[in-house]
Amino acid sequence: MGEVDPAFIQALEHRPKNDSIEAENIPLIDLSPLINASNADDLARLVAEIGNACENWGFFQVINHGVSSESREKIELASKKFFALPKEEKKKVSRDEVNPFGYYETEHTKNVRDWKEVFDYTVQNPTVFPVSHEPDDKELKEFFNQWLHNLPELREACEEHAEEIQKLGFKLLELIALSLGLRKDRLNGYFKDQTSRIRLNYYPPCPAPNLTLGVGRHKDGGALTILAQDDVGGLEVKRKSDGEWILVKPTPDAYIINVGDIIQVWSNDKYESIEHRAKVNSEKERFSIPFFFNPAHYTWVEPLKELINEQTPAKYKGYNWGKFRTARTRSNFKKLDVVNLQISHFRI
């Protein structure tokens, strides 16, 4: 086992196992009833499948999702080209304390360094966020994507992928709304000025894959995540039924979906956001591309009125998504030695 900087070493209880369980049974959902004009029974079956997957797993894969394989191949290729560039080149689009979008190589999760490099960009350019996490500070700022002039295919592929993947995001949002017994478009309005973000993840081979993680255990703070992983594999999810870490086996052309914290709050805990992490390996590099589908910064996140009553009262106080996100970005960037803001802090 090679030497690695101690900043990357996970505590004993969080280290990955060699022999992860493969999740053959993570739900695999065929979205073709949405694309082909299907009858009401097919659609109702699909809605029930989505509801069961959200409730029992918080994670599932989709096929026949309508995102073209050309756009996926293009972004995967462009991502490989970008990360293969010399560091000085990549650093020309570095993210910093002011702009959280761009290239970054020292991401930490729960204060342990992740074995990866990332490139982040937003779906709406510019995207508006509050400047400060302080509740009384009303100042807003527009954030712009950063692109390398000598790699125009990266920008082109990223923008094309953003167009396509957000359409899948809205389809899933509508299916989730229906599965909660709500109007199909009940949640759409929150995404009018969406703050969604796409991340290109690059996990280089690691000499000590048993001690480190590509991304440490975490839950996603937004509404919904749609992930493209390559054929190397490494994503592990904490199975809801028994708390075991299980490996999500790559399925060609599928997208992996997970419920984020906002859907957990909207659904008043009916659907839960599940912890996940990514392993690395000593031989192969791995790439993945999550789309974090997030609402407008001014969204007040609270359990949906239709889902609470006297018998099932709200389990969370409301919070402002933009302030929540800004607090997270600040502590991530500054590596503040404090627990990141979590929805559990708003639990009643």
Ligand X SMILES: O=C(O)CCC(=O)C(=O)O
Task: Point out which residues bind ligand X (CB under 6 A).
Answer: 199, 201, 215, 227, 229, 234-235, 276, 278, 288, 290
On whether the CB atoms of residues 269 and 307 are closer than 8 A, the answer is no
Looking up tokens 């650093």 gives 91
- How far is residue 243's CA from residue 180's CA, in Å, rounded to a whole number? 25
Single out the residue of 280, 217, 282, 204 nearest to residue 11, CA to CA: 217
Q: Which is nearer to ligand X, 102 or 290 (CB)?
A: 290
Q: Which is nearer to ligand X, 186 or 271 (CB)?
A: 271
Q: Which is nearer to ligand X, 286 or 323 (CB)?
A: 286
Q: What share of the chain is helix, strand, coil (3-state, %, to 5)?
A: 30, 20, 45
Give the bridge partners for 117, in sequence order: 202
Looking up tokens 């712009």 gives 144
Looking up tokens 């020309």 gives 92
Q: Which is nearer to ligand X, 122 or 201 (CB)?
A: 201
Q: What is the DSSP letter of 181?
A: T
- In whole angstroms, the minimum distance from the beta carbon of 201 to ligand X comes to 5
- In whole angstroms, the minimum distance from the beta carbon of 307 to ligand X comes to 27
Q: Which is nearer to ligand X, 109 or 145 (CB)?
A: 109
Strand 28-30 versus strand 59-63 pairing type: parallel
Q: Which is nearer to ligand X, 24 or 142 (CB)?
A: 24
- How far is residue 296's CA from residue 276's CA, in Å, rounded to a whole number? 25
- In whole angstroms, the minimum distance from the beta carbon of 280 to ligand X comes to 10
- How far is residue 263's CA from residue 191's CA, in Å, rounded to a whole number? 13
Q: Which is nearer to ligand X, 34 or 165 (CB)?
A: 165
- In whole angstroms, the minimum distance from the beta carbon of 228 to ligand X comes to 9
Q: In whole angstroms, how large is the CA radius of gyration of the chain?
A: 20
The one-letter code for the residue type at 341 is L
Q: Which tokens in the block code for residue 201?
A: 């993840």
Q: Which tokens in the block code for residue 127?
A: 């995207």
Q: Which is nearer to ligand X, 79 or 288 (CB)?
A: 288
Q: How many CB atoms neighbour CB 347 within 10 A?
A: 11
- How far is residue 169's CA from residue 172's CA, in Å, rounded to a whole number? 5
- In whole angstroms, the minimum distance from the beta carbon of 288 to ligand X comes to 3
- In whole angstroms, the minimum distance from the beta carbon of 271 to ligand X comes to 18
Q: What is the DSSP letter of 316?
A: B
- In whole angstroms, the minimum distance from the beta carbon of 231 to ligand X comes to 12
- In whole angstroms, the minimum distance from the beta carbon of 194 to ligand X comes to 18
Q: Which is nearer to ligand X, 127 or 225 (CB)?
A: 225
On whether the CB atoms of residues 213 and 10 are closer than 8 A, the answer is yes
- In whole angstroms, the minimum distance from the beta carbon of 195 to ligand X comes to 16
Looking up tokens 């125009």 gives 152
